[in-house]
Structure 1
Amino acid sequence: MPRRSAVFRLPVVLRRSAVAALSGALVLSAFTVPSAHADSGDGDTQVLLAVVNAGQPVVLGAMTKKTVTLSISASDNSGIKDAYGFLYHGSFDNPDGSAGPGSDTPLTCTPVAGSTTTSTCTAEVTIDPNAMLINANAGTWHIWTSVDANDFDYVNKDSAGTFLMKRAARLTADATPEPVAAGGLVTVKGALTRANWGKGGTYGGYAGQSVKLQFRKAGTTGYHTVKTVTSGADGALTAKATAASSGYWRWSFTGTDTTGPASAPGDYVPVTAG
């Protein structure tokens, strides 16, 4: 019989949190977690790597679902029999968001070519930001996994790996006047917004962030930074710069641990002789 504790054979039950119900937001919230939850194991089974989305942050807009791959690599001298996994935000004892197959649905395990001991186990996870997330879920998520070997060795990991779940950002840019005399001032306005998860596909202003004003000369391919400003109320942006040649003006944001990067489409301003 497998030595993996019976508590981990229970299905993961997903429920809407009371907070989400009060706010009207739909959240894939805290699942029922077994009381015995510390890392455990028996034998030489090891989790070698646990990643989501090939190790890249998962960036989600306000409405569009995204499907990412959960991948668990594990080894045992007898080979890997099966693996389980899910994703959660917050503490394991009291998570406020979750996604994935759960603790009762096995991942698909495939032996690594040329190896009798190591397998890679995967599952596709579809995340709906409007129905499964709230803004507070942005940031670091954890990967829970449990792996069984052919000789009944096993390992359970509360956090076998982590990844970032980010709110998508948007930027706009409007440069005036058009045209402008050589050596004259261009005023570039815009706004930095980010997805409001669980709020019907809306985007809200992102204030207090460093955003770069960039310029690309006509006929070239690369932008260079002219200056950096801080986004104001509702994410508003404005800056003035000297126009030396015709080209494209835009705003660019590198992102944070909770919000993805964004760049506005360039706004073309022709420069005329003085």
Structure 2
Amino acid sequence: MRIRASVAAVTGALALSAFAVPAAHADGAASAYRTEAVKIVKGAHAAAGKQGVKGVRGGTPYDLNVTFSQFKVAKAVKVGTTNHVATTVTYTLTHGADVDITADDFLNGPYLYKGSFDTPDNMLFGDLPATCKVVTDTTAKCTGKIDIYPADGELWNSDAGGWKGGALAIAYNGQDEENPDLSKVGLADKGGLGSTLLQRYSRQTVNASPEPVKKGRTITVTGALTRANWEDNKYHGYTKQPVKLQFKKKGASAYTTLKTVTTDSKGNLKTTVKASADGYFRYSFAGTSTTPAIDSTADFVDVK
């Protein structure tokens, strides 16, 4: 489910859809979280001058006395074309003495957003709220996940690159979750807590031929660098990218770089070298902010 910013009018309103998970990926409890949070979001929009929402009484959530710190997320998250990807986020939640974070109707969780906090281009959340371990009367250590389903159209290729981290908390305070009085519901929402790279998963191949080959003869080394396309769920060539051709002599412990080759308009690689000794060839891509580094498997050539 892709969350667009075009309907956002209130800071943090979109973030409340943290529990608005695709029903196909959520158990019954998670589906309930989605329903509840959507009502809060619509209520917040109504308070910003939009049309009211049936089943939600008036009012806006009050500022919940909760803050977030020590937000930690992976430096990079690699996402392919179809497989579900989950990355763990940890943070410290600090709250006032009047906030009961152990209540059944207290929810909190991390999220990632692309672009600005007020009007993000896209947002990603976990299937379930975070779990927290109480440390003191006013602090807890929390762990949550960001769940990504590329096959469901959650991402566009333009989403690759830098994302920021945020966290939110909702306290229903015993309100009827089917028809809450929003003025009695607490909300805390904070962005800019951390950062990560969301990258299009990459693949690298290599083939050195002929095999075997006489010493001094020419070896042709081909390959292809491809990366995930989040819009058609296929892999396409990554064009005009520098890739290192590396060689490791049989018995050696490390590769040496022979030359740098640039991928063509289809992501293909092709170059030649002279056969000198038995060994392994590979292509090595250093990566970019949108695409992770990748080494091909090694291709052994027997030199006679």
Whether TM-score is above 0.5 comes out as: yes
Compared with structure 1, are the counterparts of its residues 7 and 66 closer, same or farther at alpha carbon in structure 2 (3 Å cutoff)?
closer
Q: How much does 1:269 deviate?
A: 0.9
State the distance in 2 between where 1:62 and 1:194 align: 9
In 2, Cα distance between the equivalents of 1:134 and 1:89?
11
Mapped to 1, the partners of 2:18 and 2:224 lie a distance apart of 41
* 1:227 counterpart residue number: 259
Which 5+ residue runs of structure 2 have no aligned equivalent?
1-10, 23-37, 49-62, 172-185
Q: Deviations over 1:194-245 (max 9, x none)?
A: 0011313x10110121111011222334222111122111111112223221
Q: Which residue, out of 127, 135, 139, partners 2:157?
A: 135
Partners of 1:211 and 1:116 lie apart in 2 by 54
Query: Which of 162-171 and 139-148 deviates more?
Result: 139-148
From 162, 168, 171, give the equivalent of 1:146: 168
1:191·1:237 contact (CA, 8 Å) conserved in 2? yes
Other-structure match for 1:24: none
1:128-176 deviation line (CA, Å, top 9, x unaligned)? 1121212111111122223589xxx986422211111100111111112
Note the residue ranges of structure 1 that are not aligned, 5 or more in a row: 17-30
* Structure 1 residue corresponding to 2:300, chosen from 265, 268, 272: 268
Residue 51 of structure 1 deviates from its aligned partner by 2.5
Q: After TM superposition, what 4+ stretches of structure 1 lie above 4 angstroms from structure 2?
A: 5-16, 31-37, 76-80
Q: Does 1:109 align with 2:129?
A: no
Aligned length: 242
Once the two structures are TM-superposed, the CA of residue 74 in structure 1 deviates from its matched residue by 3.2
CA deviation after TM superposition for structure 1 residue 47, in Å: 2.7
- Contact preservation (8 Å) 1:80, 1:118: no
Which structure is higher in strand share?
1
Cα 1:146–1:12 change in 2 (3 A) is closer
Letter in 1 for 2:114: H
> Which residue of structure 1 aligns with residue 202 of structure 2?
169
Root mean square deviation of aligned Cα: 3.6
Alignment check: 8 A CA contact 2:206 2:298 kept:
yes
2:93 maps to 1:74: yes
Query: d(CA) in 2 for partners of 1:9 and 1:178?
Result: 57
Using the aligned pairs only, state the percent identity.
35
Q: Does the residue aligned with 2:266 lie in a helix, a strand or coil? A: helix
- Structure 1 counterpart of 2:70, one-letter code: L
| Partner SS, residue 147 of structure 2 | strand
Aligned to 2:193: 160
Aligned to 2:112: 87
Moved more, 171-180 or 216-225: 216-225
Aligned partner of 2:179 in structure 1 is: none
Paired residues of 1:80 and 1:147 also in contact (CA < 8 A): no
Q: Distance in 2 between matches of 1:57 and 1:239?
A: 31
- Cα 1:242–1:108 change in 2 (3 A) is same
2-structure distance, mates of 1:165, 1:230: 24
| 2:84 counterpart residue number | 65
Which amino acid letter does the alignment assign opposite residue 157 of structure 1? K
